[in-house]
Structure 1
Amino acid sequence: MNCLWCDADIIPAITWKTILQPPESKNLCPPCEEQLQVIRGNRCRKCSRESEEKLCSDCRWRERNEGESSLAWNYSVFPYNERMQEMVSKWKYRGDYAIGNAFKRDYLKAFNHIAPSLPNDPAVVPIPLSEERIKERGFNQSRMLAQFLPIEMVELLKRTHSEKQSKRTRRQRLAAGNPFFINQTVNKPVILADDIYTTGTTLHHAASILKMHGCPAVFALTLVRG
């Protein structure tokens, strides 16, 4: 098998253990895998930002100005380092769908880590793209992440078309109106799947719509904390 990033051959080590039990298949070679360091230090309990404080300055600001959030918390897997920026750009903006599989193992591992903190029988809801954006990209990266998880996926949310988040400033993102809508009642807890948490505006908007339609609790699992 070849590395999804550098195309080098992935040659598993042969030991007595691997003879008795085949090793877990990997999508990245060891050097590339080493460059994807998961968030391991202290983090904000609400947004996963690396922080020595239990609640980071951004989340304290949000609570003071907006009150209690509809989003209980977000858990992110990776920091947005240089290699992650390159990989997400190629995956998300240049249409290399296969690269998403390089994140499957760590995304699933993160879900298993937070699973004990979730209510029983949650559904995973991917953050949607507008129809125009789907035509432009060819796939929804958040839906791909949602499919990695061993729970029911429900595509509840719809999205109106707007300017790309990546082209907006932080101020513009925070001031943006809610682009999501939904046409049904939601009677079970939800974990939102998305690729990048930057200001959190997208996830907070999605959570507020879900709560307005009956969802008892909303959490998020994001690939990257920007």
Structure 2
Amino acid sequence: MNDYCLVCDNHLKRELTWTSFIFPTIHSPICSICEAKLQLITGERCRICSRSLATLNKKFVQADVCLDCVRWEQDPHWNHCLKQNISLYHYNEFLKEIMALFKFRGDYILAEIFAQSLSRQLKKLSFDLIMAIPLSDERLKERGFNQAEALARMAGRETKAYLKRIHTEKQSKKTRDERLKQKQIFQFQGNSAEIKGKNIVLIDDIYTTGVTLRQAAQVLQQAGAKEIQAITLARG
């Protein structure tokens, strides 16, 4: 058991009682101060992308769907490929700092911070397979691990690798328009009979424009998957 906060390195105070000794509980790997800086998405959210509707002007919302998702669903090339994305946290400055350490500085252990929340959310969904959004071979070599796969593994879940990613410029360096116009970056690999008619959950770190998840979902749908949902840590 780690006795120090994974973010600020302060000592974690654990109260040991006879009850906790006999019935061990799973403790958060970060301190209460850091825990409070993580903002769970609560209240009304877009039914498709998890965007908080409380922050939007009513003219940018139709029923329980934001206008971005309305446009996606009105596009015959993309409609119905992604049933929903469930994001857990707001992408605030604190989470940005954690993700920078996790993704770009290789602190794999930070995935443990989100294990319990991700595990709880997965238990609420009905699905057959879990797939982590892959990195290209070049990016995987650069980072040393796939952050989406790390999240799933820390949550105690096995992932299937039916998607291969084509190497492109980092998403973080692209503008919104560039992301929306990017060509298909995924290819299906493996036996399509193994996913035919299956319900799939995609795992990724951040939902920004929704392009990456929809491209992945589209490839899986074309290979025979029935329904694709996604869980992401944050809604950017």
- Same fold? TM cut 0.5: yes
Report the AA paired with residue 129 of structure 2.
Answer: A
1-side partners of 2:155 and 2:24: how far apart? 23
Is residue 199 of structure 2 the alignment partner of residue 189 of structure 1? yes
Shift of residue 28 of structure 1?
Answer: 0.4
Residue 170 of structure 1: aligned partner: 176
Residue 58 of structure 2: aligned partner: none
**Using a 3 Å threshold, how does the CA distance of structure 1 residues 149 and 29 change in structure 2: closer, same or farther?**
closer
Report the AA paired with residue 125 of structure 1.
Answer: M
Residue 134 of structure 1: aligned partner: 140
Residue 81 of structure 2: aligned partner: 70
| Corresponding residue SS for 2:234 | strand
Residue 11 of structure 1: aligned partner: 13
Contact 1:38 1:77 survives alignment (8 Å): yes
Contact 1:197 1:224 survives alignment (8 Å): yes
| Corresponding residue SS for 2:80 | coil
2-side partners of 1:109 and 1:12: how far apart? 23
2-side partners of 1:5 and 1:174: how far apart? 33
Residue 179 of structure 1: aligned partner: 185
Report the AA paired with residue 72 of structure 2.
Answer: R
Residue 165 of structure 2: aligned partner: 159
Residue 34 of structure 1: aligned partner: 36
Question: Could you report, residue by residue, the CA deviation over 1:201-226 in whole angstroms, capped at 9, with x for unpaired residues?
Answer: 00000000000000011110111110
Is residue 45 of structure 2 the alignment partner of residue 43 of structure 1? yes
The alignment of Structure 1 onto Structure 2 pairs a total of residues equal to 221
| Corresponding residue SS for 1:71 | coil
Residue 88 of structure 1: aligned partner: 99
Report the AA paired with residue 103 of structure 2.
Answer: K
Report the AA paired with residue 119 of structure 2.
Answer: L
**Using a 3 Å threshold, how does the CA distance of structure 1 residues 151 and 94 change in structure 2: closer, same or farther?**
closer
Shift of residue 124 of structure 1?
Answer: 0.4
Higher alpha-carbon deviation: 152-161 or 189-198: 152-161
Match of 2:109 among 95, 98, 102: 98
2-side partners of 1:94 and 1:126: how far apart? 20
Report the AA paired with residue 37 of structure 1.
Answer: Q
Structure 1 residue runs of 5 or longer lacking an equivalent are: none
| Corresponding residue SS for 2:75 | helix
Shift of residue 15 of structure 1?
Answer: 5.1
1-side partners of 2:24 and 2:145: how far apart? 33
Contact 1:190 1:218 survives alignment (8 Å): yes
Shift of residue 19 of structure 1?
Answer: 4.9
- Cα RMSD between the aligned structures? 1.6
Residue 57 of structure 2: aligned partner: none
Match of 1:221 among 218, 226, 231: 231
Shift of residue 101 of structure 1?
Answer: 1.1
Report the AA paired with residue 151 of structure 2.
Answer: L
Residue 147 of structure 1: aligned partner: 153
TM-score computed with the length of structure 1 as normaliser: 0.92
2-side partners of 1:211 and 1:31: how far apart? 43
Report the AA paired with residue 37 of structure 2.
Answer: Q
Question: Could you report, residue by residue, the CA deviation over 1:42-93 in whole angstroms, capped at 9, with x for unpaired residues?
Answer: 1000000001551011111222234523111100111100100000011001
Contact 1:158 1:180 survives alignment (8 Å): yes
